[in-house]
Structure 1
C-alpha cells in the first residue's frame, strides 16, 4: 500500500475502533436496540444524499429484498448484539472478538456455499479460535460475561453470513448502494422495537453525543472512507483495517474509560490476529505449501 494512504487507513481503524467505546458509553442509557436504531438511522441520513448525488437511489428499490436481508445480518442484528455485549464487556475485548468475522465468513462459505477450505485457511481458523479460548478462559466462571462473549461471536458469524450472501445475491450492485440500502432497511426493521423499548428515564447529554458520533462518524463517514480506500488501494489492502480495529478499540477504552489491558486480552488478541493473517494468506508458515 502506498504510504500516502496510511493516514486514511489509520483514521478508518480509529473510527471503527471508537464504535465500541461509544456503544459502551451510550448502551446503558439507551438500551442496545434503541441505540442501534439511532446508529443505522443516522448513518442512512448521512449516506442517502451521497447516493442521490450519484443518481443511484433507484437501485435500492430494485434490489430491496436482498438489501433487507443484508440490513438484518450486517447491521441490525450484529450491531445490536455488540451493543448488548458492551453492557458487560470492555470496549477492547468486544473489538477483539469482532475481528473473528473472517473465520465465520470462511466457515459459512464452506458449509453453505460449497467453497473449499485450503490447509492454510483451516490452520488460520484453528489458531484464531485458540485465541478466543485464551480470551474466554479467565471468564468461564462469569455467566454474564460468557453470554456477552457468545453475543459477540454470534454477531461476527452474522457478518460472515452477510458477506457470503452479498457475494452471491448482490453481485454487480455498487458497494455504496448495498451499504446505504442495508442501513435504511436496518433502521426500518429496528424502528418498532426502538419505540417499544425506548427508555422512560432521562438520557444524559454525554450519551446523546456518543450516539450521534456512533451514527455520523463511526458508521456513515467510516463507510465513505472505506469505499474510498477500496477504490484507491484495492480490497486486499483495505482489509488491513481488520488488524488495527482491536488496537484502537483497546486504546480508546484505556484512554477514556480506564479499561485495563490484561495479559489474557493481549495474548488472545495477538493469537486471533495471527489466525486472521494466516487465513487471509498474509502470514504463511514455512511448513505449508505455497
Structure 2
C-alpha cells in the first residue's frame, strides 16, 4: 500500500468516525427517532454490510490463494460493542456533537493508556503531566457552565468511550478483523432488538431518523470499520492513536456545519487540554517494568 493511498484511506476512516457522531446527533436533535431504535437500525445495517463483505470475499476467492475466513467474533466483544453503540445514542440526545466526540475519544484513549499501565508500562514525567492535563480537561467539561452537558449524559458518553476502548483492545492481533467485526455486529443485533422492545413505549421510527441510522450503520460504521482495520496494520501504534485525536476536531467542525452548533471558547480550551494531554502521553516513550 503506497503512502498516498494509506493517507487517503486513513482520512476517510477518521471522517467516518466523526460521521457517526454527526449522524447520531442529527437524528436525535432534528428528527423524532428514539435512541433505542437508532441503535437497532445502526447495528442491523452495519451487520448486513459487514456480512456481505465477508460473503463477497469468499465468493470471489480465487483458487490457489488462501481461502478467506468466515464470520468470527465472540459474545464478550459483541456485548462491549452493544454497550458502546447504545450508550452513544442515549447520550447524544442532550449534548453537542463536539463535546460528545471529545468525551468519547478522550475516554477511548485514556482507557487504552490505563490498560497499558496496568500491564506494566510506566509513564515519564512529561507523559504523567499529559495524563493529568487530559483528566483536568474532562473535569472542566463536566463542571457547571454554559458548555457543560447534563452530568448523566456525559457519564453515559464516557461509558461509551470506555466500551469502545475495551472493544479496540480486544480486537488487537485478531487474524481476521473484518470477519470478527462482522460476527460481533451480528451478535449485537439481538441485544439491540431487545433494547428496542424494552423501550417500545417510546419507539418512533421517524423516516429521516431511520435514514441517518442506516447511513451511520452501513457506511460510517460498517464500511468505515472495514477500511480502518485494513489500514491499521500499516500504522504504528503511536500513529494509530494520534490520528484518532483528529476525530473530535472533525466532529466539532461538522457539527457547526451540518447541525448549526457553535464552536465556543470553552470547547476550544477543553479540547486543547484533553487532546493535548493525550498527545503528550502518546508521543512520549513508555517503558515497560
Fold-level similarity (TM above 0.5) = yes
Alignment of 1:128-277 (within 5 A): 128-139=134-145, 145-167=150-172, 171-198=173-200, 203-277=205-279
Match of 2:89 in 1: 83
C-alpha separation in 2, matches of 1:219 and 1:141: 28
SS in 2 for 1:126: helix
Q: 1:226 to 1:172 in 2, by over 3 A?
A: closer
How far residue 160 of structure 1 moved from its aligned partner, in angstroms, is 3.1
Match of 1:104 in 2: 111
SS in 2 for 1:259: coil
SS in 1 for 2:93: coil
Gaps of 5+ in 1: 285-290
Pick from 69, 73, 86 the counterpart of residue 76 of structure 2.
Answer: 69
How far does the alpha carbon of each residue in 1:21-47 deviate from its partner, in whole angstroms, 9 at most, with x for none?
111122363322221121111111101
Match of 2:37 in 1: 34
TM-score by length of 2: 0.83
Q: 1:87 to 1:260 in 2, by over 3 A?
A: same
Is this contact kept in 1: 2:103–2:158, CA < 8 A?
A: yes
Q: 1:203 to 1:185 in 2, by over 3 A?
A: closer
Q: State the superposition RMSD in angstroms.
A: 2.7
How far residue 99 of structure 1 moved from its aligned partner, in angstroms, is 1.7
Gaps of 5+ in 2: 59-67
Q: 1:108 to 1:140 in 2, by over 3 A?
A: farther
Q: Does 1:13 align with 2:18?
A: no
